[in-house]
Amino acid sequence: MRLLLVEDDQLLAEGLSSQLEKAGFSVDIAHTAKEAGVLGEQEDYKAGVLDLGLPDGNGLDVLRRWRANKVAFPVLILTARGDWQDKVNGLKAGADDYLAKPFQTEELIARLNAIMRRSEGRVHSTVKVGRFELDENRQCLQIEDGTEHSLTGTEFRLLRCLMGRPGHIFSKEQLMEQLYNLNESPNENIIEAYIRRLRKLVGAETIATRRGQGYLFNDTV
């Protein structure tokens, strides 16, 4: 899942980003309001984390502009502790949740998963398709026969993407976009390698190839 992290504090941004990557996100960092505005409108993010105090403007203005331009991904704002006005203004500007600094990364991740769940209309923290259940808290795959497999960050992201829309064909480019951030430029063959690994877990026929189009998660097998 692509995530946009808007935070001008370089150390905080890098630390957070590596923890978010471990939790299954692929993260782009924007350090300024200007960068955030552009990235939010042009990339396909599943969620955003937005610091309000940015060197070239207020995060709330970025958020208002996104919402005015129909940028719909759920956004969690980072506020100063005790600043209730920021929270209220943030929610009014279109934020989906807030967290006061300093915070525990675990809480941030749990809240991000919750707002993404809501934006997808899900109630549970698992994605269930046919015989398969993906647990986003524990980053593992459970199969009806009782087996359970823990997944690497990339395996989880790829499966999460495919299982999020069973029967839908994803092109390699679309899958690459959800798997990697703007700074990474892996070869497209890597998708094939990961698909092979996932097929060993779910069975070859469960992830089908549509020649020239892409891959789909088959919920009817």
Task: Find the binder of Ca ion among 28, 35, 51, 135 (CB under 5 A).
Answer: 51
If you count DSSP H runs as helices and E runs as strands, how many of each does the chain have, helices first? 8, 13
Site string for Ca ion, 6-45 (x = CB under 5 A): --x-------------------------------------
If the CB atoms of residues 12 and 201 are measured against Ca ion, the closer one turns out to be: 12
Binding of Ca ion by 166 (CB under 5 A): no
Binding of Ca ion by 86 (CB under 5 A): no
Percentages helix, strand, coil for the chain, rounded to the nearest 5? 40, 25, 35
The amino acid at residue 134 is L
The residue number with the shortest CB distance to Ca ion is 53
Rg (CA), the chain: 18
CB of 75 to Ca ion, least distance (A): 16
CB of 155 closer than 8 Å to CB of 198: yes
If the CB atoms of residues 77 and 175 are measured against Ca ion, the closer one turns out to be: 77
**How buried is 159 (Cβ within 10 angstroms: 0-12 exposed, 13-18 middle, 19+ buried)?**
buried
Task: Find the binder of Ca ion among 14, 32, 53, 57 (CB under 5 A).
Answer: 53
What is the contact surface with Ca ion in residues (CB under 5 A)?
Answer: 8, 51, 53
